[in-house]
Amino acid sequence: MIYDLTRTLVSGMPVYPGDPEVQIVAGGAPPWRVSALRLGSHSGTHVDAPLHCIADGRGIDAFPLERFIAPGVVVDARGYADDAPIGVEVLTDVDLHPGMIVVVRTGWEAFWQDARYFQHPYLSTDLAHALVERRVSLVAVDALNVDSTVGGSDAAHAVLLGADILIAENLCNLAPLRCRQTYMFAILPLAPGALDGAPARALAWDVNHRFGSDLS
Amino acid sequence: MIYDLTRTLVSGMPVYPGDPEVQIVAGGAPPWRVSALRLGSHSGTHVDAPLHCIADGRGIDAFPLERFIAPGVVVDARGYADDAPIGVEVLTDVDLHPGMIVVVRTGWEAFWQDARYFQHPYLSTDLAHALVERRVSLVAVDALNVDSTVGGSDAAHAVLLGADILIAENLCNLAPLRCRQTYMFAILPLAPGALDGAPARALAWDVNHRFGSDLS
CB A188 within 8 A of CB B65: no
What is the rounded CA–CA span in Å between residue B190 and residue A188? 9
Q: Which helix (H) or strand (E) holds B133?
A: helix B125-133
CB contact (8 A) between residue B97 and residue A55: no
CB contact (8 A) between residue B193 and residue A2: no
Give yes or no for residue B142 having a pLDDT over 90.
yes
B81–chain A Cβ distance below 8 A for any pair: no
What are the pLDDT digits (tens) for A131-161? 999 999 999 999 999 999 999 999 999 999 9
CB contact (8 A) between residue B34 and residue A196: yes
What are the pLDDT digits (tens) for A78-122? 999 999 999 999 999 999 999 999 999 999 999 999 999 999 999
CB contact (8 A) between residue A24 and residue B71: no
CB A43 within 8 A of CB A15: yes
CB contact (8 A) between residue A203 and residue B188: yes
Of B90, B78, B158, nearest in space to B125 by CA: B158
CB atoms within 10 A of CB B155: 17
What are the pLDDT digits (tens) for A59-68? 999 999 999 9
- Can you give the pLDDT at residue B200? 98
B58–chain A Cβ distance below 8 A for any pair: no
Confidence of residue A177 (pLDDT cuts 50, 70, 90): very high
CB A146 within 8 A of CB A167: yes
B101–chain A Cβ distance below 8 A for any pair: no
What is the rounded CA–CA span in Å between residue B148 and residue A32? 14
What are the pLDDT digits (tens) for A19-51? 999 999 998 766 799 999 999 999 999 999 999
- Can you give the pLDDT at residue B196? 97
What is the rounded CA–CA span in Å between residue B19 and residue B22? 9
Determine the average pLDDT of the residues in B120-147. Answer: 98
Q: How far is A127 from chain B (nearest CA, A)?
A: 21
Give yes or no for residue A166 having a pLDDT over 70.
yes
- Can you give the pLDDT at residue B92? 97
Give every CB contact of residue B65 below 8 A, 6+ residues apart in sequence.
Answer: A2, A4, A203
CB contact (8 A) between residue B196 and residue A33: yes
A95–chain B Cβ distance below 8 A for any pair: no
**Domain residue ranges in chain B:** 2-206
Confidence of residue A214 (pLDDT cuts 50, 70, 90): confident
- Can you give the pLDDT at residue A213? 82
- Can you give the pLDDT at residue A215? 73
DSSP per position, A128-149: HHHHHHTT-SEEEESSS-SS-T
Question: Which of B6, B53, B198 is the closest to A31 by Cβ?
Answer: B53
What's chain B's average pLDDT? 96
Question: Which of A33, A70, A98 is the closest to B51 by Cβ?
Answer: A33
- Can you give the pLDDT at residue A30? 66
The architecture in CATH of the region A2-206 reads 3-Layer(bba) Sandwich (3.50)
- Can you give the pLDDT at residue B151? 96
- Can you give the pLDDT at residue B76? 98
Contact residues on chain A for B69, CB-CB shorter than 8 A: 2, 203, 211
- Can you give the pLDDT at residue B99? 97
Contact residues on chain A for B36, CB-CB shorter than 8 A: 20, 38-41
Confidence of residue A212 (pLDDT cuts 50, 70, 90): confident
- Can you give the pLDDT at residue A27? 86
Give yes or no for residue B29 having a pLDDT over 90.
no
Restricting to B residues 117-156, those with a Cβ less than 8 Å away from any Cβ of A are 154
- Can you give the pLDDT at residue B30? 66
